[in-house]
Structure 1
């Protein structure tokens, strides 16, 4: 049974696993990237983790791996492909993808967007990024910046963003921003999840902060809808776990900002925190020359899978 190594490399940690051609997933415990020790340490951490996962695959299936897929943050173009010699692997085809666009690819092939050709994948976590999926493929734009909706200005006279711009969506609606803005107003240090819980329970400060986050999202999404007319908006990340507390008012406010047309459906992501890793598996199979991998994978199997 052939397999690929799939790795989702985040800012501080990595999630990895091996995925067979039939869509059977084995997830390994995460590993730190070691970025505080510099870029060479990150490369070494990635190489070691890939080697660990590949060794597990050899012992389990008795064959060599077919390919490697890496989902990484930063500016990555769709045409970028790396080979093993760059980081010490030998004769293993590998493919690199932007972490959020790779998650969008997974949601497109076997997740919440599998029944549409054009949608926006918007994971809301520490920051906010977006993956524009057009005709079933993530679109990176002319220079790899496509989908940076987190830095679309929603209040031009608003707060300064860490990126240097003013009033970015991320400054109001990311999980870290929700927690920070509540702390600034209340003096209590809490998580974004706790802010949502307090808002639902009737805390006026939490309700204001969370309401402003939802309003910022509605403004940004309305602009996106009017420009690209997506069939669907898929929201993931930690804030999506708020469920109805997020989705119901967001749908209502988005509709209110689109006076002359119906809004597209707004759905929660189907793959949760595994989206990037599963998208990396698709990249790995593409690197191995199998562009049809994933089309017959079971969502229930992908969500489950064994843990080693």
Structure 2
């Protein structure tokens, strides 16, 4: 059976799949990245995992994978197959596409940013399916976005499009990992809510999920922390909506797991800020933590589109 390899590399773990050319999930697996052993060990873990997946396909499906797709985390510019900077993995200038292709008997390899790759999956087979124009925003440890145009994702001239988390929404505000102050990521990510709620509650172990539960229970301090994050998020989103005019705004990541505790005040806050623009549908992501892997499979299958269509 003809298939491709899909790999979603996280900070500590990898999700992988063998995907048929019709999109069917044929096999799924997970493995640690080995990040504690250093950047070189992570590269070797990825290469070895991909090699194992290729061997599995040969054994159980009668043929080797025809292409591979890999999604990489962090602040990444994917230029000519090189992960230029992947902060979560300690990488700089890693020729991942070349290394993987060499390890996998020369098959074509696609390399993508994790959030944009997840956004690709949400756009084609998830919450954005059929919308044509959408913005996917992931609210996790950081905040990043993917700009969906028809069946593709706009990566930008240098592979950095969609970095909505680094729009400054509170000048002079909290320091951001990018070096500036007041970025959306420093105010409205799951990590930012965790920091704010730990300080407000006096519990250093409290996190964003605990804050959401306290909001649901009517805690005033939690509501204040939560609303401040929602307001900052709405300010950043309205800037993005003004520039991009998407039909649908898809929100994913850990913070979105709060459900309507997030979406109800967020929809209201965005609507309050919209003037002459058309308000997009604001919906939760549909694919959860499988989006990156599914998107990597789509990237790999896209490499074979011409051949498959013949």
Structure 1 range deviating more: 52-61 or 201-210: 52-61
- 1:5-33, Cα deviation, whole Å (9 max, x unpaired): 10011122211111112222145342222
Q: What secondary structure sits across from 2:238 in the alignment? A: helix
- 1:106-160, Cα deviation, whole Å (9 max, x unpaired): 1111111111121111011111111111233211212122111011111112111
**Would you say 1:151 and 2:152 are equivalent positions?**
no
* 1:164 matched residue in structure 2: 179
* 2:76 matched residue in structure 1: 75
Correspondences of 1:117-196 after superposition (within 5 Å): 117-188=132-203, 189-196=205-212
| Structure 1 residue 83, shift from structure 2 partner | 3.9
Larger strand proportion of the pair:
2
**Would you say 1:52 and 2:71 are equivalent positions?**
no
The alignment's C-alpha RMSD in Å is 2.0
* 1:302 matched residue in structure 2: none
| Structure 1 residue 55, shift from structure 2 partner | 2.4
User: For the Cα contact (< 8 Å) 1:84–1:93, is it kept in 2?
Assistant: no
Mapped partners of 1:181, 1:291: distance in 2? 52
Q: What secondary structure sits across from 1:147 in the alignment? A: coil
Structure 1, unaligned stretches of length 5 or more? 294-308
- 1:261-287, Cα deviation, whole Å (9 max, x unpaired): 331110111111111100000111122
* 1:202 matched residue in structure 2: 218
Mapped partners of 1:214, 1:270: distance in 2? 21
What TM-score do the two structures reach when normalised by structure 2? Answer: 0.88
Q: What secondary structure sits across from 1:129 in the alignment? A: strand
| Structure 1 residue 78, shift from structure 2 partner | 7.0
Mapped partners of 1:223, 1:36: distance in 2? 38
Mapped partners of 1:191, 1:27: distance in 2? 34
Structure 2, unaligned stretches of length 5 or more? 83-96
* Higher relative contact order (CA closer than 8 Å, sequence separation 6+): 1
Cα 1:224–1:70 change in 2 (3 A) is same
Q: What secondary structure sits across from 1:235 in the alignment? A: strand
User: For the Cα contact (< 8 Å) 1:78–1:97, is it kept in 2?
Assistant: no
What TM-score do the two structures reach when normalised by structure 1? Answer: 0.89
User: For the Cα contact (< 8 Å) 2:110–2:300, is it kept in 1?
Assistant: yes
